[in-house]
Amino acid sequence: MSNKSTMEFQSNKDFFSRVNLFVQTHTALMAVIIAAILFVATIIINPRSFNLVAIGNIVLLTVILSIPAAGQTMVLIGGGMDFGVGAVMSATAILTTYTMRGENGHFLPVLLISIAIGVVVGFVNGFCSVKIGLPAMIVTMAIANIVTRLQYILTQGVLSGTASPLLAATVKFKIGGVIPHVAVYALIIWPLVFYILNKSRFGKQLYLVGNNPAAAKLTGIKVDKVRIISYIFSGVLAAFAGIIGAAYMSTARCQIFDGYAYDSLIATIIGGTTFAGGSGSYAGSIAGSLVMVLLSNLLTSLNLASPIRNVLNAIILVLLLMLYNRGKAVRQ
């Protein structure tokens, strides 16, 4: 090999190493870049897809997905996993439509009962996986199954009631004809989650617990308590997302939002939060939610047959995960 080609090879290697390093260290930013690429690709394929309706819809769906993703982010950072967010969302969505029955004035009881459901399910998930030591994936799926069975017991599987017009308006009404009102919920929840994760004592403890539980314990942190609280947060956020989801859908059947367990987990991982725990950010999870929504949009723009669309969706998601989210476990 000549000196010139050796230098070129070395130069290319350095470039890819730098790209790889950038990708590994800026996962949230990568999710934003991927979202931008998807958005631009959609517009190139179909210029008409750049319209106000589309922007409003993208904001709406991203906000809804970002709420359970917030809980998922907390649990993953703490070293756990929550496959129960979809079941909790479905349960509170049913509670919302069943209680409201299309009439205003029931928001407070619905909110309080939903939060209670989220707290109970989150606590049980946390207690079983943290205190008893059952595998988080299995236990959260099993508890989710119980929550789902209860939906059928209470409703007999029959869809009943609708969200109140006022609640529906707080989600669907467009500010300036473009931005859906649901963005107001985002303005409350997003900063709150940012504060909890980045500024509060609990957030700092959560990162440390997920990163190195033994070290966290030695510093006096109640590791189990912190992890259980992360599950409770996840339950509560999923419960709230169920109310918002019911407003978006107007009606709710059993298991209506079960798919959000998968979607929120993927969005969180795309956003840079790893299964290993101790790393990740909510900004990344929001960007990951945006990626999920834009990817679905892009595939619809291609107007492909449903099976091909589903296969493509799965392949792209696997590629995205392979591309930049391969964080090594930081364990002692």
Partner 1 sequence: MKKLLVVMLAACMVFALAACGGAADGGNKPAPAGSGSGSASAPAAGQTLKMASHNAVVEGNPYRVRYELDMQEAVADAANYGYNVSYNSFVANSDASTEQQQLQNSINEGFDIIVNNPVATTGLDPIIEQAQKAGIVYINADCAYMSTDVDILNVVTDQEYLGYKTGQYAGEVLGSGKKVVMIAALEGNQANTDRQRGFEKAIKEAGLEVVATGNHDWDTTKSQQTMAEILNSGVQFDGVLVSQCAENALAAFDAAGAKYPGFIGFGDTGAFMQKMLEVNKDGLVTPYIVLSNPPGVGATAFNFALNELAGKTLKDGVFAPGYEDTHQIWIASRVCYTDKDVAAGNLVEGKSIEEYANSFEAGDSITFWLSFQEVQDQYFN
Binding site for partner 1 (CB under 8 A): 42, 46-51, 53-54, 56-58, 60-61, 128, 132, 134, 138-139, 142, 145-146, 148-149, 152, 156-162, 168, 171-172, 174, 177, 180, 248-251, 253-259, 296-297, 300-301, 303, 305-307
Nearer to partner 1, 142 or 192 (CB): 142
Nearer to partner 1, 28 or 93 (CB): 93
Nearer to partner 1, 66 or 162 (CB): 162
- Which residue's structure tokens are 């467009």? 174
Strands 179-180 and 174-175: antiparallel
Farthest-apart Cα atoms in the chain, separation: 79
Query: 247-268 burial string, b = 16+ CB within 10 Å, else e?
Result: bbbbebbbbbbbebbebbbbbb
Provide the terminal-to-terminal Cα distance of the chain, rounded to the nearest Å: 43
Q: What are the helix (H) ranges across the chain?
A: 3-25, 27-45, 52-77, 85-100, 107-126, 136-155, 165-172, 182-194, 201-211, 213-218, 223-249, 259-270, 282-301, 306-324
CB of 190 to partner 1, least distance (A): 20
CB of 41 to partner 1, least distance (A): 13
Nearer to partner 1, 127 or 194 (CB): 127
CB of 169 to partner 1, least distance (A): 10
CB of 246 to partner 1, least distance (A): 11
| Gap between the Cα atoms of 222 and 209, Å rounded | 9
| Gap between the Cα atoms of 155 and 97, Å rounded | 12
CB of 237 to partner 1, least distance (A): 19
| Gap between the Cα atoms of 82 and 248, Å rounded | 24
Nearer to partner 1, 54 or 116 (CB): 54
CB of 185 to partner 1, least distance (A): 14
Nearer to partner 1, 134 or 276 (CB): 134
